[in-house]
A and B are shown apart, each in its own frame.
Chain A
Amino acid sequence: MRAAGPGCVINWNGEPLQVSAGESVAAALFRAGHLQLAATRKRHRPLGLSGSFIQGVLGDVDGIPNARLDQVTVRDGMHVARQNTWPSSHFDLLKLLRLVPARLVRGGFEHTRLMPSGTRRYLVWERLLAFLAGEGTLSPVPAAPAVVAGRRIDCDLLVIGGGPEGIGTANAAAHAGRDVVLVTRGSAPARFARLMGITETALDSRVTLLTAHEACAIYRQGHLVLAAPGDGGPAVAIGSNEIVLATGKHSLPPLVRGNTLPGVMDAATALALAAGGAACLGRVVVVGTETREAIAARLHSLGAAVAEIRAVAELKAIKGWNRVTGAVFEHAVPCQTVVHAGPWRSDPNLSFQASGDGLLRLSADALPAHVRMVGSAAAPDERIHWPGKHALDADVCPCMDVSAREIADLLRAGVTHVEEIKRQTSAGMGPCQGFPCWELMAAVIENAAGAPLADRPSHRGPRRAITVAQAAGLSGLVDPLK
């Protein structure tokens, strides 16, 4: 079959599908009406493109499992399939697992009560567990090179984040004659600003630009940064005298029932979808903090049918079974999309690693003098609204099916340490590695304790931004500590 017009044909779960070209697989599938791209790990509830939870955009692309569908561009003839299905991605019986009551699967895959070890039967049971837990299927025959040679860059200033603030900082330093590298996750700098209709400042040509690279870990008290491109190309070890974190803020999903249904998305994701044609969003409800009006106005100007704009504090639940069908305030508003524009919070991963220290546990400290945050990343985080009892049905970590209720119950049972809650629930141990789930987890703990909580489990890199092949290629580029 050939693509007609500006589209192309991909294979989705074994069926040909005509999609629009030029955007990510996740966006193209969304536009084609396929919202459920993945599922939660234990109960197989539907997840999709959200901008918040990576689990929702992991799929099998041409036989390679766990590809990020929001980062892979559609190609004519590519095979994309839902993973963690059985017997097939087309006919999936595992989705019946969502009928299992949530309390039966509490505690992650490491705390089974059902069959004690020590018996032969347990060996079989454990393999079944690993099968159920295992997400994608890796072919034992290598499909890609096992080692991709990496590279080493040393510079005077490393700017992480390609928004207007990062560009401004990089330009000023380049102007002053410094040797500057800028790393951005986007395919081009200032993506979000452009979506908001803000004219971008061009990046000084003297700045070394690494696009589509994620800076995913910081080592050696903030002197060494690991970055890797999403396409499997060479990973980069970057040594720098000074580091600027211009990583911005992210909107967090509301803490209400249905907060991870396909159709719930952050402002940036909604704007990107709307920019390619807003019809796919259907009726849109925007909830958020102060920025909600501006985001809603921009969505409207891109053609989106914005039905309601509300403070996130007014939201009581999001309705839907396989996708969003409504937002519940004092009464229900039917809609297909819920966009959240706030609360906005920083992803603490990199700053934690630049400052974390301690022998009994790592905890974040003041940033070392040569690492600083600029722009919105440096602004205070907005508080996560606690909507009373409605919060208990919310997902905190959808990947591991951890609800606010599971955490509240643990707190009541006396398990109060963030590291312990993480280990007993597995919250934050999926592909996002703690952001945004630990922010939501902290909100649950804050509510129970009645006091703010700055404590988080330790943020560990490289949170799936780098493959084994890319990491293997770093051998020899960094000398061991002597």
Chain B
Amino acid sequence: MQSNHSIVIIGGGIQGLSIAFNLARLGVRDVRVLDAGYFQGGASGRNGTLIRGGFGSPEWTGFFAHSNRLWAELSATLGENVMFTPRGYLVIAQKAETLARLDGMRDLHREHGLQSDLLAVRRIKELEPAIDEHAVLGAIYLKGGGAAPHHAAMKGYLAASRRLGARIDYQRPVTAVERSGDRITTVIAGDERIACEKVVIAGGAYSPAIGKLVGAEIPGFPIRIEAMALEPVRPVIRSAIALPDRLCYMHQTARGEIVGGAEVPEKPQVTLNTDICALAATAAAYAEVFPALGALRILRHWAGMLHATADWGPLLGQHPDVGNLWVSAGWSYGFAGAPAAGDLLARAIVTGEVDSRMAPFAVDRFRRNQPVVEGAIVLAPVD
């Protein structure tokens, strides 16, 4: 079977779909998306769904502030309800040094147009009556941050992209590519040969492996992280919450479940199986900060895989070695970042112009020894 598409996207997670949607909006109507698994099977269907614009570095904040703004209007943009709620995002400090770090972030956030405030314990308690005020020292509050159920967001992107002509197939793994010199000419998926002008790798945790398939180095490695859902109760937690000192994040969903996870320092695991350690660590973090949750039962616990890079930042842009290869990978906050990544990368692909908000995340930054230093993310250090 032979076909022609101007752009082939490998991976139909939220990154691949957002890129497909934005390309189609810019007039590239024959986008093809190929995904090896089932719809929502990757990290995009397994994440904590938290969205915020403000981080500790200007690079992350510049990028994610843009994405947060796009989330707010995403339902209108897609013509599908993504159910984003700007319920507010609390990054809560439990240690003095964390509080000091948060303290420095507010001005940065405001420079990027975010509504960001430092909250004293009393204000946190007003917002979150279930919190143990003795367990926390202060917080930064991002008023426009929040969450969107991944089921709704993914379904919205899929439907909108298809309406604009993108062809998207699941359970259709890319098995090989053909190159002529430094360019990819054909993408092969089983018995189908797809001649194309450009290729985008948006394969999540599998991106380094897909890079090998293409013969292009994609730095980083896959790593599992875990999350769990508590049984539903009527609203008791209002905000989206990160507890950097416990490597934990959480929120209460539109279905009443409290969903979140905590990371444990472990040898990076390549599996979708879960482990007791993350279950216990997540529960311990909840119990410490929201003691009332101790009485709730844990419904289910699952794992998803991320593509870890040396600085935990994404790899976004053109590949340095393969002329017509583009990359959106290395995501750890790739759900929050998807609207901006799709917007900026699609523009770069179509016009050749690299927006300054995505430039710092260039694929070759480690080669150039220019990692992006970001200290306000909730991820366990790996060595």
Contacts and interface: CB of A to CB of B under 8 A. Distances in A.
B273 A134 contact: no
Contact of B232 (A133, A220, A357, A476): A133
Contacts of A353: 273
Contact of B297 (A110, A147, A357, A467): A467
Nearest to A41: B232
A468 B248 CA distance: 14
B231 A474 contact: no
B151 A423 contact: yes
A145 B270 CA distance: 35
A127 B148 CA distance: 13
Contact of B280 (A140, A423, A474): A474
A147 B305 CA distance: 29
Interface stretch (A240-248, A297-305, A457-465): A457-465
B355 interface: no
A450 interface: no
Interface stretch (B113-121, B283-291, B366-374): B283-291
A464 B274 CA distance: 16
Nearest to A476: B280
Interface residues of B, number: 77
Instruction: Tell me which of A133, A361, A471, A481 has the highest count of chain B C-beta atoms within 10 A of its own C-beta.
Output: A471
A362 B273 contact: yes
Contacts of A468: 230, 283, 286-287, 293-298
B276 A463 contact: no
Interface stretch (A113-121, A162-170, A340-348, A439-447): A113-121
Interface string B88-121: 0000000000000000000000000000000000
A144 B295 contact: yes
A482 interface: yes
Contacts of A146: 287-288, 291-294
B87 interface: yes
Contact of A463 (B45, B206, B287, B299): B299
Contacts of A419: 38, 40-41
A126 B254 contact: yes
Main secondary structure, interface of A, reads: loop
B296 to A, nearest CB: 5
A130 B256 contact: yes
Interface string A118-158: 10001100110111011111111111111110000000000
Contacts of A131: 234-235, 256
A220 B269 CA distance: 11
Nearest to A474: B280
Contacts of A473: 280
A450 B295 CA distance: 45
Interface in A420-464: 420, 423-424, 426, 429, 431, 433, 458, 460-464
B36 interface: yes
Contacts of A458: 272, 302
B235 A357 contact: no
Contacts of B273: 219-221, 353, 356-357, 362
A130 B295 contact: no
A61 B119 CA distance: 36
B252 interface: yes
Given A117-B74, A117-B85, 5 more contacts: A64-B295, A109-B255, A140-B292, A359-B206, A468-B294
7 contacts: A115-B81, A130-B234, A133-B232, A137-B233, A147-B287, A361-B272, A419-B38
Interface of A: 41, 64-66, 108-113, 115-118, 122-123, 126-127, 129-131, 133-148, 217, 219-221, 224, 226, 237, 353, 356-362, 417, 419-420, 423-424, 426, 429, 431, 433, 458, 460-482
